[in-house]
Amino acid sequence: MRPRLDALLRTTTFRLALVQAGVVLAFVVAMLVYVYFATVGQLIRDSNVLADQEYATLERAYAEGGMRRLNQEVVERAARQGPFLYVLAESNGVVVTGDFQQLPAAPRETPERVDFSFERVDENGEPVRGRASGRVGRLINGPILLVARDLGDSAIIAGRITQVLWTVAIVGLIVSIVSGLLAATQAARRAEALSNTAREVMAGDMTRRAPVRGVGDEFDELAEAMNAMLDRLERLMNTTRTAGDAIAHDLRSPLTRFKQKIENALDAPPDTDADREALRKAVDEADRLLNMFSAVLKLARVETASNWRLQRVDASEILRELAEFYEPAAEEQGLTLRAQVQDGLVVRGEHGLFTQAVSNLIENALKYTPSGGNVEVRALRRPDGRIEIDVLDDGPGVPPAERDRVLERFVRLETARSTPGVGLGLSLVAAVARLHQGGLHLRDGLSNGDKTGLGAALVLPAAA
């Protein structure tokens, strides 16, 4: 439990909860101060004004009628049991008359403000504690006069208000700390789920995924991003694993042919022309092997390297040039190659990879379409703003169930075994599409009697 608590105390969320509690506390204190001065402070100020007026009245009575008159006034007023409290004392401080037998403060020459607590006995003989605020001063020739106002009920109200405010402050502080702690625990638990997933994946279980609650908060976003990353990693790991097997498998036949051709040449009696031909064929096989390796390396680089520089690429121009480039070859094969390309299609991409991807699609279509067939290159801006490049043929097509599979590397359908190639062309196009944040989709192509050819759609984001 202890380490978890320590960990919780270190979390950002917990610190934020503390900060929040601090802010609540500061606010409550500020409010207390304000309310105190607005209530209790105002009461005291009002009392003081009244006490000052009463003091002035008595001062005037003393000026008019001397000590005797003042004494009389004080006695009368004190007897009325009003809100005011009076004390009249000799210049030496000995009390002459008034509500108390003692002065709460020794006066100076100038009248000053006093604020004191007192205790006296009420009409019923009960001792009453109270607070009073007023003025004390020395009159001409020495007598001391104190006039104060009993703060009475208002002091009690002010005390209550203060007490309530303190209660609110303490409860608020506790609530904010507890809610902060709960939030922190919750957040810590979700962060822990994410790190657990990461640990399990590191331990070798590539199929683990972070839990997504479906509330769409930032933890869900983080979990989804992490899961997408893990999906990609898993796919890359799988392709690496299967590609290794596939390379080993696919290399076997050209290497065997290569070896056979050289062995045959060595075994047969020397014959310059035949040897030369055998060596030439061996060189062709070696070229095929090198091409396969180049294709594998290129595919790996497209899939894993991140340093491709994507820039504006004029797709319309490249597509028209490619169509023009392949048109004579198509004609030679007895095919019709047509291009319907909208103007001004600009994709964000890498020039060389884009050109190669589209040329792979065109070559694929030319390779599998029998003589007399049609191949069409179409390019348009879709309503969603993306650019779609379709290469359609009316050849034998690919059954819908096989379409995903032929995008995987080294996969060649049985029907394609007789044609040259290594089964990386479409994988490369798919990888190029992913690199460009687009996609390659295989679907029906041009119809040809009761059959339908293959359509490859390369969908890429348009350049900004």
Told to check if 355 binds another protein by CB under 8 A, we report yes
Q: Which residue number, 260 or 291, has a Cβ lying nearer to another protein?
A: 291
Q: Residue 366, interface with another protein (CB under 8 A)?
A: yes
**Shortest spacing between CB 308 and another protein, in angstroms:** 8
| Of the candidate residues 65, 82, 352, 400, the single one contacting another protein (CB under 8 A) | 352
Nearer to another protein, 46 or 363 (CB): 363
Q: Is 271 in the site for another protein (CB under 8 A)?
A: no
Pick the stretch among 205-213, 362-370, 405-413, 436-444 that binds another protein (CB under 8 A).
362-370
Nearer to another protein, 280 or 382 (CB): 280
363 binds another protein (CB under 8 A): yes
- Closer to another protein by Cβ: residue 221 or 287: 287
**Does residue 397 touch another protein according to CB under 8 A?**
no
**Binding characters for another protein, 307-336, by CB under 8 A (x = yes):** --x-----------x--xxx-xx-xx----
At its nearest, how many Å lie between another protein and the CB of residue 291? 6
Q: Which stretch binds another protein (CB under 8 A): 24-32, 131-139, 248-256, 358-366?
A: 358-366
| List 113, 257, 367, 403, residue binding another protein (CB under 8 A) | 367
Q: Count interface residues toward another protein (CB under 8 A).
A: 29
Are 365 and 395 in contact by the 8 Å Cβ rule? The answer is yes
Residues lying near another protein in the complex (CB under 8 A): 280, 283, 287, 290-291, 293-294, 301, 309, 321, 324-326, 328-329, 331-332, 350-352, 355-356, 359, 363, 366-367, 420-421, 425
